Amino acid sequence: MAMGTFVENDYGTPVAKALIYDCWWFELIMIILVLNFIGNINRYRLYQRKKLPLLVFHLAFVLIFIGGAVTRYISFEGSMTIREGESSNAIITDKTFFKIHIGNENNALSYKDIPVTLLSDRVPFYLKPFKKDFEEEYDFYGERIKLKVIGFYPRAQDSLIKDPGGVSTLHLVVLENGKRVNKYITSGNVLLVQNLLVSFNQETAGAINISNTSGRLQISSPYEGNYMIMTTQERKTVSGNDEANEFHMRSLYTYGSLAFVVPEAPGLARIMHLEGDKKTHENDPDLVQLAITTSKATDTVSFYGGRGLTDFQHQVQVGDLRLSLAYGSKIYETPFSLKLTDFNRFFQSSFYPDEKGTILSVNHDAWGTNITYIGYTLLFLGMFVTLFWRGTHFSKLNEQLKQLSKTTKVTLLCLSFLALAQGAYSQEIDMHGKNGPQEQEHHEHDGHDHSGHDHGPAQPPSESEKANMRQMLSAQPQDAKSFAATVQIDAAHADRFGRLLVQDFDGRIEPVNTLALEILRKIHGKERFHSLTANQFLLAISSSPLKWLTVPLIHISGKGGQETLKKLKADENGYTTMINLLTLGEDGSAEFILSDDYRKAFAKKPADQGTYDKFVLELNDKLYAMQQLIDGHYLRILPLAGDQNNTWVAMPYDPVNGQLNNPAALYLSSVVAAQTAGNWKSADDKLNHIKQLQLKHGKDVVPSEAKIEWEIRYNSWNLFLKIMVVYSILGTIILALAFVRLFKQNKLLDRLVLVLLILIGTAAALQAMGLGVRWYISGHEPWSNGYEAVLFISWIGVLSGMLLYRNSNAFILAAGCLIAVILMGFAHGGSQMNPQITPLVPVLKSYWLMIHVAIITSSYGFFGLSALLGAVVLILFIIDNDKIAAKVKSSVAELTIVNELSLTVGVFLLTVGTFLGGIWANESWGRYWSWDPKETWAFISVIIYAFVLHVRLIPKMQGKYLFNLLSLISFSTIIMTYFGVNYYLSGLHSYAQGDPVPVPGWVYITVAVVFLLALVAYLRYAKRKRKPIK
């Protein structure tokens, strides 16, 4: 399964499904697993009353596998397309089939469609033995016709070669993702271009048909379109309803989102075929090359096909036989019809380019889904009851833990090691200072091509503008602290300004205070600019932007090297001005001083970008943010009246009164005047006027006053960073007290531990409150992005440590704190974790998602605790000697039991959460399991941890060393599930997809440390087994 996720990422979903998930050997493994489940019911007598919960959830897995088999072999998935005003009962299958119709002058036969997934030769070498080439033989009234696929090009891309002996070929130039792309259609063929069929000399229903009749080109289509004559810029309409229209070469034809030009008359040529990129060309059709052999003739044909195409794509005459060929989807008819009265873009798989039709996803799987859901129900019930049922292994572990209460102690060196670890994290926290989290911010330019991006005007500047630009770039920087002192923004008015609402680039309505903090953290790296609060800073730079061009405001990291810092004229604190980041381009306009380096860095894949490349890209983003700020694009405080999309703008142009008479401009002008006069009444009035406009025109999206106040309070707390420091301090102190209690027991120490326990509980309660406040102000659960989920997992880590705290063993409690410190340090110490509150995409707005993510992320806290306990046990094996052997033995026994309890709870939560994710997927898009990389790796984690829990049943593998080692290294599957899939694979859960990023250096270091720890611990463990305690 793990291999399948990487194969899918590199070679595409069809390859992964055909050669792994849908392959016979994978199905055989599943059957063996089911038989193993059934066989172990009798072997371990799960039918006994004390083991009934185990019987229930083991039988549940059998039902889930049966439901999956029904889904695979009996059910089908597809899509239904409906044009506006029309009805449909036709389902186009996702599965592909080979279809053929054979006829001659007297007879004709249609044959059964054969389900097949064709693959190119570009598959992993280790999977080639499982690749089947399509080869079929048909009988036509006693004559044998043999077909064999000799070539297959997924998402085929063509290259045209002029050839007098070739075929008449139509050349199209289309626009895809802002780039010119060449398409070629040979006479008598049809090509799918941007979800529309285009044919050449092959009349096809539903297609844009271009034909060459007596040297004259004509075009017809069921859709109305238009064209523009390039030389005159004259626009004309192309009638629909399949009426023939004269075709004009070198004119731009537009049908919905499809725009194309035929630059030259059709000519004789041959086409060289290439496999298309799975991302760039994902909507392009496949090309099938087929060898046909009959008793009288042979021929080789090429035709296009693929998922979504249902008609016969090619007809060929071989001898006296006429063959109609197709590779694509089938159509199933439902016993009912759906009518689309009016187009609406609700949740759907796709829609027509002209927005007059919808494409709905369809799933015909009542039996498979119901059987699987019954299995899910039994699974959830059995796992829950297992935690409380007497006689289960979980209850026995609890009893064993109680028996150890009088003798168990944690060793001195183990405590010292963890105290040092806590201290190291305390030092790491101090490095963050008061800067708060570093963050990545979404801008309008995110995801766009910046290869030609600069920061100058779009049009070439005039000579006077060039002179002004040279003068501006030669200006000397100001002293930042002195400049801040000259800004006279009234503090009370700035607070009122901070409560004004603004729409960010993601569409979220938030207080200006939130936006001000995000901008200042991104550009300056702090939450204040010397004496100015974030609100005062944003108001000052918005009202008088040009004054800030020479202020050392932009923070420059040292990753670019000292020479770069000198080139950018950074001061001793690492700050520079916007002017210092600009230089005159060849045309006299201002551009980024590192623009050449930026273009080189941007052209590289993320995996190939070095430290300097990342530095340049980060600096360019800061400069872009500064430019947006100077230009006033951030301050989107004015809702457009009557706008259906609830769009807010910064300073919309007023065609009647002009730009300067809009409320935002008038307000900022009054702020400038108030700084000089010291009277803020006019500014207050204009600010209140904007608030009234927001309430009037944006009432559908304006949050309540209470929510605004709570968000501003939340911004001022910086709660989670402070709680991380508290966890670190309390964890270190409780470890120190545990060390003292090894040699001295008295009531005072017991009370101190109790006080620390209460303080940790209080900190956990405050963290829960912070998550609750974030939930309230965001309107969605506080585990919907990476930053929120890590905070939630850290809270579960502390909670799990408190729940599993037994026998006054302070180490377990401190381990929970340490897990929280590690995770929260990761959340606040790296640029990949964005603390910004963002709106949810529609597919994530589901109560099933809330339950699914809450449960599955909760399991990560227990797995993290188990991994840490496993590491500590290995360390105990390393430090073991004759003097402390008894203490080590008892400590290992207790920690192993706690580890197994934690793992059991974690596995139950992970399993339930994973299958609840299947319910969410089924409710959202009608498919409860699709082998998406995220769900696949979650399932892998379930299997790996289930193996760890069952390893005690395997002869000669019951040792505590192996169990604790496995609990440590198994956590790598959780890291892969949570982080690896998002950054190195693609899938439905990867909403910010792109090329994989480089593997961080700490990953290699961690692997090396764990390997060394395991090796040394094994040598010491083996030595102790040869020399047991006397």
pLDDT digits (tens, 9 = 90+) for 474-512: 778 899 999 999 999 999 999 999 999 999 988 899 999
What is the model's pLDDT at position 28?
93
Looking at the predicted structure, is the pLDDT value of residue 761 above 80? yes
What is the model's pLDDT at position 843?
57
Rank 87-96, 677-686, 741-750 by mean pLDDT and report only the highest: 677-686
**CA within 13 Å, CB half, 370:** 5
Over residues 886-911, the mean pLDDT reads: 86
Percent share of the chain, pLDDT over 70: 85
Over residues 334-363, the mean pLDDT reads: 65
Tell me the pLDDT band of 327, cut-offs 50, 70 and 90.
Answer: very high
**CA within 13 Å, CB half, 791:** 29
Determine phi and psi for 1029, rounding to 5 degrees: -65, 135
Tell me the pLDDT band of 679, cut-offs 50, 70 and 90.
Answer: very high
- Say whether 319 sits in a helix, a strand or coil: coil
Rounded CA-CA distance 341/805 in Å is 61
Tell me the pLDDT band of 789, cut-offs 50, 70 and 90.
Answer: confident
The CA–CA distances, whole Å, from 875 to 412, 738, 776, 812, 903 equal 12, 17, 43, 15, 19
Name the residue with tokens 């640029």: 831
Rounded CA-CA distance 443/450 in Å is 13
Looking at the predicted structure, is the pLDDT value of residue 456 above 50? no
Rounded CA-CA distance 367/379 in Å is 18
Looking at the predicted structure, is the pLDDT value of residue 343 above 60? no
Rounded CA-CA distance 121/264 in Å is 34
Cβ distance 516 to 537 under 8 Å? yes
Tokens (6 digits) for 759: 């303080």
The answer for residues whose C-beta is within 8 angstroms of residue 509's C-beta and 6 or more apart is 501, 502, 503, 648, 698, 701, 702, 703
Tell me the pLDDT band of 696, cut-offs 50, 70 and 90.
Answer: very high
What is the model's pLDDT at position 427?
33
Rank 470-479, 615-624, 955-964, 998-1007 by mean pLDDT and report only the highest: 615-624
- Mean pLDDT is lowest, of 542-556, 612-626, 688-702, 919-933, for 919-933
Mean pLDDT of the residues in the chain: 82
Tokens (6 digits) for 318: 């071989």
- Mean pLDDT is lowest, of 27-31, 122-126, 534-538, 684-688, for 122-126
| Residues 259-300 pLDDT 10s | 999 999 999 998 888 888 877 787 788 999 999 999 888 988
Looking at the predicted structure, is the pLDDT value of residue 409 above 60? no
Over residues 741-759, the mean pLDDT reads: 77
Residue 284: left if φ>0, alpha if ψ -120 to 50, beta else—which one?
Answer: beta
Cβ distance 843 to 938 under 8 Å? no
In this structure, are strands 357-364 and 350-351 parallel, antiparallel, or unpaired?
A: antiparallel
What is the model's pLDDT at position 743?
52
Rounded CA-CA distance 1001/1008 in Å is 11
Rounded CA-CA distance 455/470 in Å is 15
Over residues 59-84, the mean pLDDT reads: 86
Q: What's the sign of the alpha-carbon dihedral 574, 578, 584, 587?
A: positive
H or E stretch covering 485 = helix 480-486
Looking at the predicted structure, is the pLDDT value of residue 400 above 50? yes
- Closest listed residue to residue 964, CA positions, set 1012, 898, 888: 898
Tell me the pLDDT band of 341, cut-offs 50, 70 and 90.
Answer: low
- Mean pLDDT is lowest, of 188-197, 331-340, 542-551, for 331-340
Determine phi and psi for 599, rounding to 5 degrees: -65, -40
| Residues 586-602 pLDDT 10s | 666 788 999 889 988 88
What is the model's pLDDT at position 992?
38
Tell me the pLDDT band of 543, cut-offs 50, 70 and 90.
Answer: very high
What is the model's pLDDT at position 703?
94
| Angle made by CA atoms 86, 92, 98, in degrees to the nearest 5 | 140
Percent share of the chain, pLDDT over 90: 32
Cβ distance 332 to 364 under 8 Å? yes
Looking at the predicted structure, is the pLDDT value of residue 323 above 60? yes
Written as one letter, the residue type at 552 is P
What is the model's pLDDT at position 830?
57
What is the model's pLDDT at position 680?
94
**CA within 13 Å, CB half, 734:** 27
What is the model's pLDDT at position 471?
67
What is the model's pLDDT at position 671?
94
